[in-house]
Structure 1
Amino acid sequence: MLKITQINSEEKNSILSVTNLSVGYTSKKETNTIGKAIHFSLNPGELTAVVGANGIGKSTLLRTVAKVQPALDGEILIKGKPITAFETHELAKEISVVLTEHIPAKSLSVQEVIALGRQPYTNWLGALSADDIQQVKEVVSLMGLEKLQYKKCFELSDGQLQRVMIARALAQDTSIIILDEPTTHLDIYHKAYILKLLKTIAQKTKKTILFSTHEIDLAIQLCDCMLILEAEKSTFGTPCELIESGGFDQLFPSDLISFDSQTGTFKVKK
């Protein structure tokens, strides 16, 4: 059953720890390092955004942390255990992932897609137990999808479909939820809606949520922590800490955009 509890500060222990991580791709001829010297540590119930310029390695980082692709160097710990020590079925009970790829069969109903999140717990036939069914019902309620649960996914708007994909990850009942640009293709209202929803989920369920985004202004307002990726380094901290240290000042070329530390927003130079 999905636990919904408020967080006590005394209960906080690092659930995801990354140390001196390098990410990128290897081939027979060469190694292409996209990001290096990446450090951060996340606690239960925290919402954390990964931000940076296009092509800086945000998606590559998330795929590496989720063990979709191997790290080039460094260490990733889940609850103090190296991620490389997890078998696939074990990791599926610790990390759920929502990448940018579309779901393979939009002919499935909302309820059926959410139920896919229970696969790590079902038997070899994939049959849902009473507990699995209850879990799906709780997630449908938490995500406010009661009126949509019997609709086919091809009938949904982009914003509705994104809520369904988040619900599927939530039904997986993992400690960590990783999302790659969950607000892509949404208008400003629905971008804010999705990010505020993620904040609520993190607070209520004590799950650790890590996501990449280009919506830096919204992330500053809503996130507990942020990771700024740059070519040679990463900077991690609370939004206030990053503003005070000038972490956002050099994020983009200053000829067009500057960061206003008073308002916590980026301004276009006229």
Structure 2
Amino acid sequence: MNYLNPNIVIHAKSLEVGYASRNQTYTIAKNINFQLCSGELTAIVGANGIGKSTLLRTLAKVQPKLSGEILLKNKPISSYTEIQLAKEISIVLTEHIPAKNLSVLEVIALGRQPYTNWIGILSQTDQEKVKEVVSLVGLEHLKHKKCFELSDGQLQRVMIARALAQDTSIIILDEPTTHLDIYHKAYILKLLKTIAQKTRKAILFSTHEIELAIQLCDKMLILDTQKSTFGEPCQLIERGSFQNLFPEDLISFDATTGSFKVKK
């Protein structure tokens, strides 16, 4: 891997994630190696409980790594202050839902907090960024609505817009298509793909929608407890990396269609 490649914004090397207490360390996954590049959409997939959310929180410095290395723009992520990190990484976690009595515009404007003054007043630049994001995500007709009036799919778009307003080089999302129907799952992932291409941001998300991720993502990380696999979806299919993702007595992967089949 080329550390000097200017398109690489995050490089994880021999990363081990989990939880540590005073008396015990609990490893969830180790030997994780991958890089995020500007303008690319990357998915983390794997079985339930494999550590997808833990990895995302570790990459965002919400919780500490157990071992290994995380470089953010060629510097150890540990060297960044909170305010510096807030200008590089925006994160949308499943448990972080804004107060639903706020309007769409108010929630999106929260993304400008790293840049506002101590009383949180939006500058002209902040207001222009919010307006730009509202247009990019297609929320003009909803911008004055309260969040409690929105559907799950609309609310997810607002959360993506808030992350965009933060104007970071990296956006991290934890299962952004949860609770959505198949149309809105595809809509959200296609929107993320478009945003990555238009803004040149690196977007990383965890998902159970493996087949959609195969179709839409530039890169995928198949997370496992002992050693993870990373690459372009077509490369992973060629290597047979999806074959052992689930117990083969019930589900098999069809490499010709890029889909999973239930054994009858």
* Fold equivalence (TM over 0.5): yes
1:6 aligns to what?
Answer: none
2:253 aligns to what?
Answer: 259
Confirm whether residue 201 of structure 1 aligns to residue 195 of structure 2. yes
Amino acid at match of 2:225: A
Q: Which runs of 5+ in 1 are unaligned?
A: 1-10
Q: Secondary structure at the match of 1:253?
A: coil
1:47 pairs with one of 41, 49, 57: 41
Confirm whether residue 67 of structure 1 aligns to residue 61 of structure 2. yes
Q: What is the CA deviation profile of residues 53-91 of structure 1, one whole-angstrom value per residue up to 9, with x for unaligned ones?
A: 000000000000000000000010111011000000000
2:159 pairs with one of 162, 165, 175: 165
In 1, the alpha carbon distance for the partners of 2:7 and 2:140 equals 34
Q: Secondary structure at the match of 1:120?
A: coil
Output the TM-score relative to the length of structure 1: 0.95
1:247 aligns to what?
Answer: 241
Superposition deviation, residue 115 in structure 1: 0.1
1:139 aligns to what?
Answer: 133
Q: Secondary structure at the match of 1:122?
A: coil
Superposition deviation, residue 28 in structure 1: 2.1
Q: Is the 8 A contact 2:98 2:107 kept in 1?
A: no
1:235 aligns to what?
Answer: 229
In 1, the alpha carbon distance for the partners of 2:114 and 2:130 equals 14
Q: Is the 8 A contact 2:11 2:34 kept in 1?
A: yes
1:88 aligns to what?
Answer: 82
Confirm whether residue 174 of structure 1 aligns to residue 172 of structure 2. no
Amino acid at match of 1:262: T
Q: Is the 8 A contact 2:221 2:231 kept in 1?
A: yes
1:107 aligns to what?
Answer: 101
Superposition deviation, residue 154 in structure 1: 0.4
Amino acid at match of 1:92: A
1:269 aligns to what?
Answer: 263
Amino acid at match of 1:31: T
Amino acid at match of 2:188: I
Amino acid at match of 1:55: G
In 1, the alpha carbon distance for the partners of 2:145 and 2:6 equals 39
Tell me the C-alpha RMSD between the 2 structures: 0.8
2:51 aligns to what?
Answer: 57
Amino acid at match of 1:213: T
2:179 aligns to what?
Answer: 185
Amino acid at match of 1:108: L
Report how many aligned residue pairs link the two structures: 260
Output the TM-score relative to the length of structure 2: 0.97
2:120 pairs with one of 126, 131, 140: 126
Q: Is the 8 A contact 2:46 2:224 kept in 1?
A: yes
Q: Is the 8 A contact 2:17 2:28 kept in 1?
A: yes
Q: Which runs of 5+ in 2 are unaligned?
A: none
Q: Which runs of 4+ in 1 moved over 2 A?
A: none
Superposition deviation, residue 102 in structure 1: 4.0
Q: Is the 8 A contact 2:134 2:161 kept in 1?
A: yes
Q: Secondary structure at the match of 1:121?
A: coil
In 1, the alpha carbon distance for the partners of 2:36 and 2:128 equals 29
